[in-house]
Amino acid sequence: MATLHTRSAARLMIAPSVLLLLAWMIVPLAMTIYFSLLRYNLLMPGMEEFAGLSNYTYFLTDPAFFQAIFNTLAIVLGVLFITVIGGIALALLLDQPMFGQGIVRILVIAPFLIMPTVAALVWKNMFMNPVSGLFAWLAKLVGLQPFDFLANAPLFSIILIVAWQWLPFATLILLTALQSLDEEQKEAAQMDGAGAWSRFFYLVLPHLSRAITVVILIQTIFLLSVFAEILVTTNGGPGTQSTNLTFLVYAQALLQFDVGGASAGGIIAVILANIVAFFLMRMIGKTLEA
Amino acid sequence: MGSISLKNVSKVFGAHAVIPSIDLDITDGEFVVFVGPSGCGKSTLLRLIAGLEDVSDGEIVIDGKKATDLPPAKRGLSMVFQSYALYPHMSVRSNIAFPLKMAGEDKAVIDKKVADAARVLNLTDYLDRKPRQLSGGQRQRVAIGRAIVRQPEAFLFDEPLSNLDAALRVNMRLEISQLHQQLKTTMIYVTHDQVEAMTMADKIVVLNRGRIEQVGSPLELYHKPDNLFVAGFIGSPKMNFISGAPAAAYQAHTIGIRPEHLALSKEQGTWRGTVGVAEHLGSDTFLHVNADGIGTLTARVSGDFAVSHGDPVFLTPDVQRLHKFDEKGLAIR
């Protein structure tokens, strides 16, 4: 059916949506680039002037910038580490036949359905609060000094909160992958004398590799832009200890009213995200091919 | 050595007894085929022997040792699965080497044994391929290779040929038989195909609804079936069964006569009928004859017996080879 005629007709048909999508992407990008080259402060309306690349030099030499890059990477890698390992463990547990399997599975998915601000507030006020939090109560129960998580380990606390939210997602994807593993293969490995650990290492883990890649890809996309959890818990602080790139751009634009500098930061974030995407795609290409 | 005996073995799933109770002895080096219609419990029986299912009651003895509670790996058995169950991400070499690696064998020993197995099975050129790059027959051979490297007490085959096409099936059947001649290891083979059972087995175990109907060599089962089920299951085309007045003439409730033991004539004979369908195979012709007062009978005649639809014919059973059964379906001898 793919004659020359049908192909050109098809191109004509999809042209509007392609153009729309392109405009949707190009216009904001172009405007951001334009703003990033201006001295544009909301406190001084009407005083915009061309500033060249000074916004970029300012943003890149800001000590908070390197802290933010480090924090962004720490959040992405930390959450990925916890969710992939925890997800595999939970998926293995949920794959076992047990009483009330359906209800347990729904309970496991629940955190994913709670919106980030609510989840973060629950963690902040009910778990991590050094006076009235559950962790403080537990610490006091065994005679320890309560630990103020958000003040003393802000980045770790945020990683913990975000990991808690994303664990169900990883578990769900890995559980479905686990269920697609051929029963006869497991039995064959059993006959071949493989113990539980060998079966996991030689059979289950390679089978899961594809699903793990998908989890890493999708989570990385979302984890690069974690925002709500930081805003409602630490507000990027103390200092800039829990500021990631997204939060730094927000602070630049809406706390310091410097739209030009924030736009430059946004463009830098886009470039960094593309670098990450490049490596991710190469990694995924390899796994998905095999 | 690979003798296996089942004593009073039963398997119950919930309230449903798949295998009520079975006693069976398999001597070392035998090629035993479990055959029966689907759902008769033959695969379950194999899995009980393999240790992939726990017995509900009874005892399994392998090589003189009690194996009822041993895990599958400790029973010294190898199994070839219906889906082959190859490890998809491993090369053919790693697949075959896997059981040896799990047993903690030396690298050099593993390489040698894998090479030997590959030579026996004509897989040497494919050792570095992945299973999905192989044809069905080659995959089957890899699965067999993985089974033989361990030098088990006995091999278990679970319908290994059912995923292959007809021509390849005949080929693999021959290869497995040759392998048995070479290795002289006990083999237990599960199939629903009575042709596979007849051609390969030293001993056939016919199963029906979890019970053993008869155990014997292929020709014993063919010539002396114990009951109606075995008589109808073994042999192709199926045995003709006649009950009522014609059977009473032979002092039996039901009589059975195989298609090849019916003599056909255009002039005279015991029963008269008309030809329904004639299936010409070249060497033989299978005639479906509508016999008057009896019903449809299948007859096997030589390929040059020229009749077609609607022709009148006469059938005469070979009385020496007539099988007689009583009301319970048991053979009268």
User: Considering only CB atoms, which chain A residues are within 8 Å of B85?
Assistant: 182, 184-185, 187-188
CB within 8 Å of B61: residues ≥ 6 apart = B4, B5, B6, B7, B67
Mean pLDDT of all residues belonging to chain B: 88
| Mean pLDDT in residue range B79-87 | 89
* Start-end of H helices in chain A: 4-36, 54-61, 63-95, 101-113, 116-122, 134-141, 149-152, 154-179, 183-191, 196-199, 205-223, 228-233, 245-250, 259-289
Check CB contact under 8 Å for B78 and A191. yes
User: Considering only CB atoms, which chain A residues are within 8 Å of B102?
Assistant: 192-195, 198
Q: Which of B73, B86, B103 sits opposite A191 (nearest CB)?
A: B73
Q: Is A193 on the interface with B (CB under 8 A)?
A: yes
Q: Provide the chain A residues 196-215 that lie in CB contact (below 8 A) with chain B.
A: 198, 202-203, 206-207, 209
| Mean pLDDT in residue range B129-146 | 89
Structure tokens that stand for A49 in this block: 């002037």
Count the alpha carbons within 13 Å of B171 in the hemisphere toward its beta carbon. Answer: 11
Mean pLDDT of all residues belonging to chain A: 88
Check CB contact under 8 Å for A190 and B102. no
CATH code assigned to B4-231: 3.40.50.300
* pLDDT tens for each residue of B219-267: 999 999 999 999 999 988 899 998 888 888 888 889 999 999 988 888 8
Q: Which of A185, A193, A290 sits opposite B87 (nearest CB)?
A: A185
Q: Is A189 on the interface with B (CB under 8 A)?
A: yes
Q: What is the ipTM metric for this complex?
A: 0.81
pLDDT band at B34 (very low <50, low <70, confident <90, very high): very high
Check CB contact under 8 Å for A198 and B50. no
- What are the pLDDT tens digits along chain A (290 aa)? 567 788 888 889 999 999 999 999 899 999 999 998 988 888 888 778 888 888 888 888 888 888 999 999 999 999 999 999 999 999 998 888 888 888 888 888 888 888 999 999 999 888 888 888 898 889 888 988 888 888 888 999 999 999 999 999 999 999 999 988 888 888 898 888 888 888 899 999 999 988 998 899 889 989 988 999 999 988 887 888 888 889 988 988 888 888 888 899 899 999 988 898 888 888 777 776 65
Check CB contact under 8 Å for B102 and A185. no
Query: Where exactly are the structural domains of chain B?
Result: 4-231, 238-325
Q: What are phi and psi of B312, to 5 degrees?
A: -80, 140
What is the torsional sign of CA A235, A239, A245, A250? positive
Structure tokens that stand for B122 in this block: 């004509």
Q: Nearest CA to B82 among B192, B185, B171?
A: B192
- At A104 the pLDDT is 86
Q: How far is CA A110 from CA A46, A83, A99, A103, in A?
A: 49, 15, 19, 11
CATH number (3.20.20.70, 2.40.50.140, 3.30.479.30, 1.20.1260.10) of B238-325 reads: 2.40.50.140
Please tell me whether the peptide bond between A238 and the residue prior to it is cis, using omega within 30 degrees of 0.
Answer: yes
| Mean pLDDT in residue range B11-29 | 88
- At A288 the pLDDT is 67
